[in-house]
Amino acid sequence: MKIIIDGKEIEFSPGQTIYQVAKSAGIHIPVLCHQEQVKPVGACRVCVVEIEGARSLMAACAMPAGDGMVVSTNTERVRNARRIIVEMLMTQGHHNCITCESSGDCVLQDLAYELGLDAPRFDGPATLLPGETGNEMIVRDMNKCVLCGLCVRACNEIQVNLVLDYIGRGSNSKVGPPFGQRYEESNCVFCGECLRVCPVGALYEKQGRFQGRTRDLEKVRTTCSYCGVGCQMDVRVKNGKIVKVTTDREGMPAPNFGSLCIKGRFGYDYVHHPERLTKPLIRRDGELKEASWDEAAGFVGEKLASIKQAHGADAIAGLSSARCTNEENYLFQKLLRAVVGTNNVDHCARL
C-alpha cells in the first residue's frame, strides 16, 4: 500500500498512522501528546494535517494511513491551525520559562519557537494553583500542565499503576490521583514514569531543582546498579557530580525502554554520600584501617584458604549484591563453587 505525503510516495504497512509513515520517511510532523509506547489519542491536535477530500484537518498521530491517501503536512491552513492550538496551550497556564526546569527540553517551548510565536494573544488564568512539593521525589506544577494526558497514559498503560487520571470538567480539569490526593497519599510507587513523558515543566525532579538544566548537563549512558535487570539510564553530571537521572521520552534500549523504578530514578544520592566507602578496610588491632585493593584481595584470599584448610570448604559462605551486574554475580558464584568448592552462595535480594 502507498500514501502520498507532501508529494512523496511512501509505502506503508496496514495499521500504521500517518505520523508513523511520515516519520519513517523523514517528514517532520510536530507532536506534543504523542508517545510511541502508549495509545494515540490526538488530544493536543498539534499534529493536524490536511487530507485531500477531507472536510476537517486530521490528527496524524491517531489517523490510520490509507492506500492512495494524499496528505499535506505544511500548508498555510495547517500552520495557522497549529499556531492557534499552541497559542491556546500557552494560554492555559503560567509558562514562566525563565526559571522552569524544562526550559530547553520543553516540547511546548520548541513548538512556539518553530511556529514563530512571541506571546499568546489570549488571556490566561488569573490565579496560580498551589504546587505539590510534599514528597522528596516529584514536584507537580499544575500551572504548566497542558492536559496532554501523557502522564495518565504512561501511568496506566506502561507501568499499569492506575494512579493518575483526569479530574474535573472544562476549564477546571486537571490531572492527578483520585479525590485530589497528593502523590504520597495515593498508591503512587514513585517510578517517575509520569515525569519521564511530561513534555512541559509540569512535573520535575525535586532533588535536581536549580542544580542545572538538562540541556547544560553532561549526559552519561550507564546501567542502573540496584539490581541485575540491567536497566539503561542517563546520569546527568555537573562538575563531576550526579545531578539527576533521566531517560529519553522515546528510543531507549531494552530491557527497560526508558522506564525505571524509584531506586533507579531517584536513589542516586548514595554515590556522593560522605559515609560511602571508597577504599577497602582491614581490621587491625581492633580498628578498621584503609588498605589498597591488592592488599585487601590478598588478605581475603589468605583468610579463605586458612578457613578451608582448618574447617573444610563448607565452612565458607558467600553473599552477593543486587548492585552488581549479572556478569559479576556469575563470577562470584563461580569463585565460590569452582575455587572455594562450596555451594553456600546466596544473594541479598532473597533476604
In CATH, what number is assigned to the domain containing residue 40?
A: 3.10.20.740
Strand bridging mode 48-51 / 218-223: unpaired
What's the grid cell of residue 327? 556478569
With beta carbons less than 8 A apart as the criterion, state whether 108 and 90 touch.
Answer: yes
Claim to verify: residue 197 and residue 101 sit in the same structural domain? yes
Report the mean per-residue pLDDT for the chain.
Answer: 92
Claim to verify: residue 147 and residue 54 sit in the same structural domain? no
Torsion of Cα atoms, 225 then 229 then 234 then 237, to 10°: 0
Residue 56 above 70 pLDDT?
Answer: yes
Q: Is residue 243 part of a domain?
A: no
Claim to verify: residue 101 and residue 201 sit in the same structural domain? yes
Of the candidates 141, 59, 62, 63, the one whose C-alpha atom is nearest the C-alpha of residue 106 is 141
The residue-averaged pLDDT of 179-189 equals 92
Confidence band for 119, pLDDT divided at 50, 70 and 90: confident
Confidence band for 350, pLDDT divided at 50, 70 and 90: low
Boundary of a domain, candidates 163, 178, 206: 206
Q: Domain range spanning residue 57?
A: 2-74
Boundary of a domain, candidates 157, 191, 206: 206
The residue-averaged pLDDT of 142-154 equals 94
Total structural domains in the chain? 3
Using a pLDDT cut of 70, give the percent of the chain over it: 99
Q: Is residue 347 part of a domain?
A: yes
Boundary of a domain, candidates 176, 206, 236: 206
Of 190 and 229, the one with more pLDDT: 190
Report the CATH number at residue 177.
Answer: 3.30.70.20
Q: Is residue 81 part of a domain?
A: no
Name beta bridge partners: 347.
Answer: 320
Claim to verify: residue 117 and residue 60 sit in the same structural domain? no
Q: What is the pLDDT of residue 13?
A: 94
Claim to verify: residue 161 and residue 198 sit in the same structural domain? yes
Sequence-ordered list of residues with C-beta below 8 angstroms from that of 168, at least 6 positions apart, any chain? 174
With beta carbons less than 8 A apart as the criterion, state whether 55 and 42 touch.
Answer: no
298-322 pLDDT tens trace: 999 999 999 999 999 999 999 998 7
Claim to verify: residue 122 and residue 187 sit in the same structural domain? yes
3-state secondary structure of 297: helix
Largest CA distance in the chain: 89
Q: Is residue 254 part of a domain?
A: no
Q: Is residue 294 part of a domain?
A: no
Residues in the chain: 351
Claim to verify: residue 66 and residue 121 sit in the same structural domain? no
